[in-house]
Amino acid sequence: MRRLLVGVPFVWLLVLFLVPFGIVLKISLSDIALAIPPYTPTLDLTEGWAGIRDFFSRLDFENYVFLTSDDLYWKAYLSSLQIAVIATICTLLVGFPVAYGMARAPEEWRPALLMLVILPFWTSFLIRVYAWIGILSTEGFLNQFLLWTGIISEPLTILNTNTAVYIGIVYTYLPFMILPIYATLERMDASLLEAAEDLGCSRMQAFWLITVPLARPGVVAGCFLVFIPTLGEFVIPSLLGGSDTLMIGKVLWEEFFNNRDWPVASAVAIILLLILIVPIVLFQRNQQINKEAEQ
């Protein structure tokens, strides 16, 4: 019975992944065409085995060769990796102190603090990103506040830059960093810190020798939960970034909707998925190691 309860949703999720992946892979091996759908060949089962053989014989890897010949695509991949890595580090630098403070707060305060972290999920993701346009624009709240306090003499240009993209990503994915770190630190035995201090460690030494190593599983999980979706992010760079913000999600959208080049867009998506497989496999391996360590 337990295998059935686990197997049914697992098979369901696997099918929902493999079927779309197979469709996208097939389109990536096709050629663009002025038709509906805008690619060729299409499979016609009415012709029997002859139609199936003709269908597979017309598939090729020309779109993948094209991606290697155009600088735009590999630059977009590298730029996306750079932005994802920097944004993940910034999110960790902000999220770890918050999670640490929540874990060390009085027990009766923790549910309220946890609710404040989850509260942004009650609002639409798109609305929250749009709100940052009003905050970061030249006439926005941030510039008005800085001008009022006299910190700056003229408005800062933040919107439509990579800085705005980093701010949007850190704000949006911060709960995904805080929650796993908090879950790890909340289970930590406080007597370990007391024992370290009794043995001569300062609070800072006890933090680096005890707290940080014990928080490593949460840190790794949080970094993966931020890095993986950030790499293919489209909404935030489109709304907050400028013309110099190059991310593979924007390139994918433009190829699919503006150029209507579904085969090239599908090839871009397949390569992006292959890149994401590496951190996903590492994340699953980390989770398995942590589970074995707990047992």
User: Domain residue spans in the chain?
Assistant: 23-60, 63-294
User: Crossing angle of helices 71-104/110-118, nearest 10°?
Assistant: 160
* Residue 269, both tokens: 């998506």
- In the numeric block, the tokens 């996306």 are attached to 80
Q: What is the CA radius of gyration of the chain?
A: 24
Spatial contact of 168 and 132, defined as CB atoms under 8 Å apart: yes
Per the DSSP assignment, residues forming a β-bridge with 32 are: 39
Long-range pairs of 277-282 with CB within 8 A, sequence gap ≥ 24: 279/224, 279/227, 279/228, 280/224, 280/228, 282/224
Instruction: Output the pLDDT for position 86.
Output: 95
Read off the pTM: 0.85
Q: Residue 48 region, left (φ>0) first, then alpha (ψ -120 to 50), else beta?
A: left
**What is the distance of C-alpha 264 from the center of its chain?**
22
Instruction: Output the pLDDT for position 294.
Output: 65
Instruction: Output the pLDDT for position 84.
Output: 94
Extract the residue ranges of the chain whose pLDDT is less than 50: none
Instruction: Output the pLDDT for position 23.
Output: 87
C-alpha to C-alpha distance for 178 and 95, rounded to whole angstroms: 5
CATH 1.10.3720.10: does it fit domain 63-294? yes
Instruction: Output the pLDDT for position 1.
Output: 66
Nearest to 145 by CA among 155, 159, 130: 155
Instruction: Output the pLDDT for position 15.
Output: 81
Instruction: Output the pLDDT for position 295.
Output: 61
Helix, strand and coil content of the chain, in percent to the nearest 5, comes to 75, 0, 20
